[in-house]
Structure 1
Amino acid sequence: MTEKEDAPAKNEAAVLSDQSLKALAKEMVNQNKGLVYPMYLNIPTTQVVRMRLTGTEKENSEEDMCTALLLYWKKMRETARDKDKVLDLERACRQMGELDIADTITDRHNNNMELSEDCFPAA
């Protein structure tokens, strides 16, 4: 066995799980900001455009593209502390004027709960 196999799985913040990011992507698409939000997370514009073109060719939904971009961001920031990543998600929401979503992210993180489709306030 290698050292990587012996190492315990890293505990990540619940709001950073793949399921949470998928729920967040769905909410951003519902707010018509699905491909704008990743730019506020400092994903390079060329990467956003590249993933958009690839997604369009494969006939992916905007929600799928936003989810893929959020997962790309998570991988891009894998060396950052979870606290910093959560703050990035919250800051980006606030900069976009999505204060309710930012508050939901903070509340869920403080309670160590995942984001879900039903946790976001109705528009």
Structure 2
Amino acid sequence: MSDAFDPDTSRTVRRLMDCYDLLTEVCASLPLPISLPQEVGPGHWSDRADAVARTAELAYEVPASWEVRDSLKCACLFWLAASDLLLAQAMEPKRYRPEAATAVLLTAEDYLHDTRRDLGIEG
């Protein structure tokens, strides 16, 4: 992701990274933890997206309640959708994409908070 984005896109990219951090915390707290890459910088973005996609594939194999598995999978899919919107924004800026990505991230965050609650994670 580029630092040359307009302020709205830059803010949305930061929110995407914050959501990734929350996803990383949730995945590390699963009964069978899933480790996601922590490297920072634009060169590692595809590694993060690939790891989130793989986590979405593994979600139904996690030894947890269906609520946890379902919320985790949905959070991953919404995060990936927001990431795709921001990648498209980098290629061809459109005014609506940062706002659309933010709306998608809000949903991903809601699913992650549900997952945290179902796992009994405090905070």
TM (norm. structure 2) is: 0.41
TM (norm. structure 1) is: 0.41
Which structure features the higher share of helix residues? 2
